Structure 1
Amino acid sequence: MDDLLLLSEAQMRRIEPYFPLSHGVPRVDDRRVLSGILFVIRNGLRWRDAPSAYGPHKAIYNRFIRWSRLGVFNRILAELAAQGGSADLLMIDATHLKAHRTAASLLKKGLYPDLSDAAEAD
């Protein structure tokens, strides 16, 4: 498993101030779990397909959901973007959506309007 993503200590020090404080029981290793979250998202995997080197998939999923609801990732991204400096840099969102397997046949079945006819009517 040489292709595993693991954030460096310097990267973790840079984003640690944005993590919520632990209440009571210490959290599972933030570096490992956050690296697992990034690995799953980067590779488009299901949470249960995360390599076991990142810890239990349920812990990775729960941390992602909890921190997303708290806005942790939004604060980290906003702060890192503000520290980026030069305005000539461009950030690209690589979000993608999966279409249902029947979506390709909607036009053939007449369930989706043909836009070429609407343009000719104008």
Structure 2
Amino acid sequence: MRRHELSDAEWEFLRPLLPQSLRGRKRLDDRTVLNGIVWKFRTGTAWRAVPERYGSWHTLHTRFRRWALDGTFERMLRAAQARADAAGKIDWVVSVDSTVVRAHQHAVGARKRGLRIPALGRSRGGLTSKIHLACDALGRPLGFVLTGGNTNDCTQFTAVMEAIRAPRLGPGRPRLRPAHVLGDKGYSSRAIRTWLRRRGIAHTIPERADQKRNRARRGSRGGRPPRFDEQLYKQRNVVERCFNRLKQWRGIATRYDRPAESYQAAVTLASLLMWA
């Protein structure tokens, strides 16, 4: 095994999750292709610069785009989560946060059919993307949403929560609701707290200073302060560690891919290997 390649244990974890091709001519081995794709995104290099030992760069790119567009990586991630949930290895104390990713100039280009390139936003730091993510108590991604870097965190909270979907291996509906949600002050809003309460989801989100002042100014009409468990809130740092692990992939720490679905597939692949 070379650097940035799949270990035997990782390959044995991923092999049953890959789609099987039973028709057509013999194609390049899936492990070789996956090693090339992983090498590309771990190093952040261009497709044409991937070493020849992984086969033609065109084959790697074609296979990656096919798996990205048909949802293969997403199904593999769901299957890995289903395995862990069936074994009782998911701690459903979920932490949610976001991270900003700088977009390289290769991720930006001319408009196509009058549409701007999606999931890019212009802010003070230039063109960026943002990953809104929810992870379990062990820091493994459960669901994420990709937006422009100038998107406010609280506007994507429900989308991130709805991205959590751990299927059952046997009969039964998928697990959608966490047992508890941890979030920072960016998610402190009445709408988010109401959304969580209606679904019976406990949460620990600190109140912003301006919200405290407004509630104190209204007196008894301001209501009671939201319940806040300081000790439980200390566990929220797992989502920061999750982002740190994802950004060890240079192709994720900086966005080089122009299509949003390609960058999203790269984040999904990195998330999948965290479950492996």
Shared fold, TM over 0.5: yes
Match of 1:77 in 2: 77
Matched residues in 2 for 1:15 and 1:34: separation?
Answer: 10
Match of 2:139 in 1: 90
Matched residues in 1 for 2:28 and 2:2: separation?
Answer: 22
> Would you identify which runs of 4 or more consecutive aligned residues in structure 1 move more than 6 Å?
none
Query: Is contact 2:5-2:35 (8 Å) kept?
Result: yes
1:3 Cα deviation after fit: 5.2
Matched residues in 2 for 1:6 and 1:21: separation?
Answer: 21
1:6 Cα deviation after fit: 2.7
Match of 2:66 in 1: 66
Identity of matched residues, %: 33
Match of 2:6 in 1: 7
SS at 1:13 equivalent: helix
Question: TM-score scaled by structure 2?
Answer: 0.32
Give the AA of the match of 2:57. H
1:13 Cα deviation after fit: 2.7
SS at 1:53 equivalent: helix
1:77 Cα deviation after fit: 1.9
Query: Is contact 1:12-1:31 (8 Å) kept?
Result: yes
* Structure 1 alignment gaps of length 5 or more: 100-122
1:28 Cα deviation after fit: 0.4
Higher helix share: 1
Matched residues in 2 for 1:98 and 1:72: separation?
Answer: 21
Pair 1:46 & 2:95 matched: no
Query: Is contact 2:4-2:39 (8 Å) kept?
Result: yes
Give the AA of the match of 1:24. G
Give the AA of the match of 1:17. P
1:54 Cα deviation after fit: 1.1
Aligned residues: 98
| Residue deviations 1:6-47 (CA, integer Å, cap 9, x gap) | 323432232223222212112201111101101101111110
Match of 1:30 in 2: 30
1:98 Cα deviation after fit: 5.2
Query: Is contact 2:5-2:38 (8 Å) kept?
Result: no
Moved more, 63-72 or 89-98: 89-98
SS at 1:89 equivalent: coil
Match of 1:56 in 2: 56
Higher strand share: 2
Indicate the RMSD between aligned Cα atoms, in angstroms: 2.4
Match of 1:18 in 2: 17
Question: TM-score scaled by structure 1?
Answer: 0.66
1:67 Cα deviation after fit: 0.8
Query: Is contact 1:6-1:35 (8 Å) kept?
Result: yes
| Residue deviations 1:72-113 (CA, integer Å, cap 9, x gap) | 1112222223444142211334334459xxxxxxxxxxxxxx
